[in-house]
Structure 1
Amino acid sequence: MPTPGAGSPGDNDLEVLAVDKRYGAFAAVQALSFNVRRGSFFSILGPSGCGKTTLLRMIAGFIAPDSGDLRIKGASMLGVPPNRRPVNMVFQHLALFPMMSVGENIAYGLERRGVKGPTIQAKVTDMLQRVGLPGSADKRIDQLSGGQKQRVAIARSLVLEPTLLLLDEPLGALDLKLREHMKVELKQLQAEIGTTFVYITHDQSEALVMSDQVAVMNQGRFEQLGSPQQLYYEPATSFVAGFVGNNNRFEGHVEQLNGAQVQLRTGSGMALWAKAVGTVTVGQTAVLFVRPEAIEIGRSPKELPAGDPAWSAVVDSVLFDGGNSTVQVREARSNTPLHIALPLTGRLADLKPGETVHFAYQSAQAWCFAA
């Protein structure tokens, strides 16, 4: 069976081979194998405690695996100390030296390696240009914005020309607007420089926006590894379906199968069709997911696509959030609650609690998994 994300060995900057790490009876990382292609942006996404930081620290060399192997550019890193590995790390708390200028911060690692003055100056100037901070070498750290400090921290790491840049939730301390801006900047920076980034986060938006490949991690294992589009539109497990993006989740029993389609009867009596993922059999307990944006809504059934099953519902509340606005409704017969995305055109922006609406979705845009 091929390793997830595999190409030929020469295409990969990182190979993780059956790596295991335990703390007593607790398995932090379990027999994990994957590859990271050269020059790619690879993210590990998962909730707190799933093992992603442990994995990153093993790649960096701060923790030794109990078994398995870690190879960078084909060379095993077992027994190689952190300062001898071709990696560098950017943390959430950037640890810039406040008593040093921007240029001195970036030059620090080069000086420790014994690089000479003129070469250091040239490398610092080039790196500041590449991260979009030309002419900032003499500025104090406290003169920089949060985003500029982030770029200095990355420049300080990249100037050492690592094979891998490891990023441990580096945007977590930034405010929301700056974090949104930095997601785009980081993606562009990685594409321009070409260094392989390995990024860990619990924020699905960061992973989806920036990455070429994303691994969703849970309880020490990868639930799924694929492109952001694959994770979003083709979740392989119920955990991925529930963790990536927003979803309406229903639990019930499978009533019937029709090819790849399955009908689920919820405890409240609502009958829903979806695409079966994995083995789903009649009579078993299952869970079904449908995204708010996959559901069509209108004041009249005539506003909905013809041919799809439709329901009526009563509006509970409207949650206005610009382009992410949703409406909370309850299906009329079963009283089942749902979130439905409002049209971006502004149609239905005037909905009020208590109004009756109608909704429908295509079964191909919903997924059903055995519970």
Structure 2
Amino acid sequence: MRNCGKKSGFILLLIVLFLTATGCEISMPFAKKNTSEQISNLSASSVFLDNSEIRSQTISLLNRAKKAIYIELSALDDPEIIDLIIKRSHEGVEIKILLDQWQRENAQTVKKLKNQNISVQYYPAQKGQYHRLRYMVIDYQVAMFYGQDWLQKYANTRSIAIRLTGDTAWNLAKSFTKDWEYTTTLTLELPDSIDLPEDNITFALNGNVKQQILYAIKQATTEICAEVEQISETETVEALIAAKQRGCKVRLILSPSCAEATPNTIKAFKEAQIEVRYYDPADTEKINFNIGIFDNKTLIISSSSWSYRTFVINHEGSLSIPSPQVVNKIYSVFERDWQNSSPA
């Protein structure tokens, strides 16, 4: 029996060494925080909710870049920002851009940028798969994580952007280099390390977005508030219902389109006595963000709705931010939208 144990341990060691050698990551980013509650020092002033302010911050960061600008978006057609990107490239700043190949706005953008020798590529998504990541990294150490794309049609909408100056900015830079290498097979040269303070923010990609959200739902003990375009992924729906059954107050603000798109989910929420409202504002007050607030302690912002497509098919991302200051700011926005919403 002891020989069997040694043999099993040896086999496990070989598997771990193989995965490490092939570049696979072995991590449990959500479970690791069980031992002690982590708090982020991200301030409320790092959260932007007005689209004109988000755009102004973006332009300011683009102008401040000295070495490199990495941009990952679904779509881009803002002419002023495009011209500024070209200007900064001509001034010697390294610029790399990844966009979604299925968004029609990108055709003219990519053509114009390539004509100016800007390194812009389409993320190699398969048919039916969309590239929904939205962030920018400046000089490897400052980043903006966005709730919506840089499009002219969104000029008057409400969205969200998070400014990051801690180690999550560096993590986004490293994530971009992986996506760039996957897209082009070319390796970007990064500094060996960047000395940034730990911000206790967790960045999740693809399938880990679902795990991040599920973990937050299952850990919640008092209240869950979510303002999301759609919630339809089966495990997520079941987890919210289970949270309600164990005594959590659960309030959801969804798009009115859910009444026809996901009627069975809405019915299940109502039967579980989960409060659901629809936010249907004027065009100038449309919302382009997907957020969850858990126990009034943690904010999760995801790049898209909480659906099967988001969690399984698309290229998506999310941030989990355990910051009381940030949560208080977003909670007040949720309460205002709750009052301006209509019962489902």
| TM-score scaled by length of structure 2 | 0.28
| TM-score scaled by length of structure 1 | 0.27
Q: Whose helix fraction is larger, Structure 1's or Structure 2's?
A: 2
Q: Whose strand fraction is larger, Structure 1's or Structure 2's?
A: 1
Structure with larger RCO (C-alpha < 8 A, sep 6+): 2
